[in-house]
Amino acid sequence: MSQYTAVTPEDLQVMLGAIGVGSIEELFSSIPQALRLQRDIDLPPGQPEQAVFAELRELASRNVSSEDEITFLGAGMYDHYVPAIVDMLITRSEFLTPYTPYQPEISQGGLQVMFEFQTAISELTGLPVSNASLYEGPSAVGAAAYLAKLSNKRTRHLVSRGVHPDSRETLQTLAAGYGTTSTEIGLDEGLTDLEALREALSDEIGAVIIQQPNFLGAIEDVEAIAAAAHEHGALVICAADPLTLGVLEAPGNQGADVVVGEGQTLGNRLDFGGPSFGFFAATEAHLRRMPGRIAGETTDADGRRGFVLTLQTREQHIRREKATSNICTSQALNALAGVIYLSWLGRRGIVEIGELMLQRTHYARETLAALDGVHKLHDRPVVREFALRLDAPVDRVLDRCAAAGINAGFALRRAYEEHPDGLLVAITEQRSRADIDRLADVLGEAVAAERTATEATV
């Protein structure tokens, strides 16, 4: 018996009696002796709750989180404020503990949440149909490429180098299974090279995949890219940062056929990379081919409005080998956090937060680029993230900043070998002007110190 199981000696006696065996051991007799573990599981003994809590807290104390430093680290996940109502609502038993809603009559809460989420994503992306979540951003890009292949049967895709490196790599991994190849289109001063794209396009290309804003923070010309792609019958897949879609035009309104993305910025914590959610929206034509769960509206036997999982024939539990994806468990609770967050932000808030990031990002970029030894890596319009070039080893600069309590950003060298001195800096509504000024001070000092150190060793 543990704190979670409840078989008393009396229970055991009654239960074994009802079953008709003498011991629990007999219930495992179908496992041949040769396959039996002949020892205990080699793990330490169980600990009481207080001790487990202490251990988990000790492990937490050896992580430097956004609680402990002022962070400008982005590159796909961002330190946004998560309102208290999100925590309170998603830890309610009725949302936290049920399974996927296979019995709709007692799952109207969860199903309506999905319907509301789908509506919100549709609004943000400018596309009419959305699913109820995928795992996260990069695998959503992979799922979109799979849909493109199912849709037009073409097996070659073009992917901008501005798409998140994890998305590009996930795409390669998944494509090895479903049989597509992707060719990379390079960047020209921080933006997808339109000329190179036009040259690479042909009637063999099934999809063009871009990101908005791209990984280097720049605003892509989605309309031009979409027009070029459509001339050749290729689908346009755009991965978008949802929190910028209050100020940036919806890619769905600019010609994207599928808009996907990482949902972490919508009410979800950083959590060292997960769980968050991916979103997936598309034009009506692709509804019956879309992956993931979809909630649909209907009526009950008394004419009441209700919601059900619909178009389930796309899914694994019915269509099996012909399913449009294999997804079963996705990220329902994180999607709930997302729709609560979007309701909290509201119609004005999504614009305000976008404007705030836009202005502060501009201020940050101008301020930092004015420092000695710091330059803009590109000068394209940006919204919430931008790339710099440092005249000093980036890793050492970052260490100095960290020692001063500032995480200055992402060393681009980690993902773009052509930018060994690059630094990607992210802005959220949590980074005030004072924080940005502090970053400027600390970064300026760090770069200066490292340049001196380098000169000294030369």
Partner 1 sequence: MADASYPDDLLYHAEHDWARLDSDEDVATFGITWFAQDALGEVVFFDPPEVGSSVTADEFYAEVESVKAVSDVIAPLSGEIIEVNIALADKPESINEDPYGDGWMVKVKLSDPSETDALIDAETYRSSLS
Partner 2 sequence: MTSLEGGATAQQRERATTIFEKGAAGRRAFVAPELDVPQVEGLIPEGSRRAKAPLLPEVSEPEIVRHYVNLSKRNFDLDSGFYPLGSCTMKHNPRLHERVAALPGHARLHPLQDPRRAQGALELMFNLQEALAEIAGLPHVSLQPSAGSHGELAGVLLTRAYHADRGEQRTKVLTPDSAHGTNPATVTMGGYEVVKVALDTAGGVDLDDLRAKTDDQVACLMLTNPSTLGIFDPNVEQMASIVHEAGATLYYDGANLNAIMGYSRPGDMGFDIVHFNLHKTFTQPHGGGGPGAGPIAVSERIEPFLPRPQLVRRESSNGAAAPRYGLDHERPKSIGKLRGFQGNYGVFVRTYAYIRSLGAEGLKDVSEVAVLNANYLLARLREEVGEHLPLAFGERCMHEFVLTGAPLKKELGIRTLDLAKRLLDHGMHPPTVYFPLVVDEALLIEPTETETRETLDAFVDAIAAIVAEAAEDPEIARNAPYTTPVRRLDEAGAAKRPRVREAIEPEAG
Q: Which residues bind partner 1 (CB under 8 A)?
A: 288, 312-313, 318-319, 322
Q: Which stretch binds partner 2 (CB under 8 A): 194-202, 269-277, 370-378, 447-455?
A: 269-277
Residue type, 263: G
Q: Among residues 198 and 289, whose Cβ is nearest to partner 1?
A: 289
* Contact window for partner 2 (CB under 8 A) among 118-126, 188-196, 200-208, 445-453: 118-126
Residue 84: both structure tokens together: 């208290």
* CB nearer to partner 2: pick between 124 and 205: 124
* One character per residue 8-47, x = contact with partner 2 (rule: CB under 8 A): ---xx-xxx-xxxx--x--xx-xxx-xxxx--xxxxxxxx
Asked if 426 contacts 90 with a C-beta cutoff of 8 angstroms, the reply is no
HSE-up of residue 450 (Cα within 13 Å, Cβ side): 22
Amino acid (1-letter code) at residue 122: S
Peptide bond into 275 cis (omega under 30): yes
Q: Is 189 left (phi over 0), alpha (psi -120 to 50) or beta?
A: left
What Cα–Cα distance (Å) separates residue 199 from each residue in 164, 193, 196, 287? 23, 10, 5, 31
Q: Supply the DSSP symbol for 103.
A: S
Give the C-alpha separation, 44 to 53, whole Å: 16
179 binds partner 2 (CB under 8 A): yes
- 149: its two tokens: 């292949």
User: Site map for partner 2, 346-385, x if CB under 8 A?
Assistant: xxxxxxxxxxx-xxx-xx-----------------x-x--
Strand 385-390: give its sheet, edge to edge: 374-376, 385-390, 422-426, 410-411
Binding at 55: pick from partner 1, partner 2, none (beta carbon under 5-8 Å per type): partner 2
Alpha carbons 85 and 91: distance in angstroms, whole number: 10
Residue 233 or 415 having the CB closest to partner 2 = 415
Q: Which does 306 bind (CB under 5 to 8 A by kind): partner 2, partner 1, none?
A: partner 2
**CB of residue 455 to partner 2, shortest distance in Å:** 26
> Measured between alpha carbons, how far is 259 from 334 in angstroms, rounded to an integer?
19
CB of 344 to partner 1, least distance (A): 36
**x/- string (CB under 8 A) for partner 2, residues 152-171?**
------------x-xx-xx-
The binder of partner 2 chosen from 9, 22, 153, 177 (CB under 8 A): 177
Select the residue interacting with partner 2 from 53, 186, 420, 441 (CB under 8 A). Answer: 53
Residue 454 touches which of partner 2, partner 1, none (CB < 5 to 8 A by kind)? none
Binding mask 67-106 for partner 2 (x = CB under 8 A): x---x-x-xxx-x---x-x-xxxxxxxxxxxxxxxxxxxx
Amino acid present at 372: D
For residues 314 and 288, the answer to whether their CB atoms sit within 8 Å is yes
Written as one string, the DSSP assignment of 199-234 is: HH--TTEEEEEEEES-TTSBPP-HHHHHHHHHHTT-
In the bound state with partner 1, the residue whose beta carbon lies nearer, of 36 and 320, is 320
Selected binder of partner 2 within 9, 22, 70, 107 (CB under 8 A): 107
Shortest distance in whole angstroms from residue 209 CB to partner 2: 15
Nearer to partner 1, 52 or 318 (CB): 318
Q: Are strands 258-262 and 235-240 parallel, antiparallel or unpaired?
A: parallel
Q: Angle of helix 394-403 relative to helix 433-457, nearest 10 degrees?
A: 130
Q: Which does 457 bind (CB under 5 to 8 A by kind): partner 1, partner 2, none?
A: none
SS3 418: coil
* Helices 108-125 & 332-369 angle (0-180, nearest 10): 30
Give me the least distance between CB of 213 and partner 2, in Å please: 10
Query: Other CB atoms closer than 10 Å to residue 177's CB: what's the count?
Result: 9
Minimum separation from the CB atom of position 328 to partner 1 (A) = 17
Q: How far is the CB of 153 from partner 2 (least distance, A)?
A: 15
137: contact with partner 2 by CB under 8 A: yes
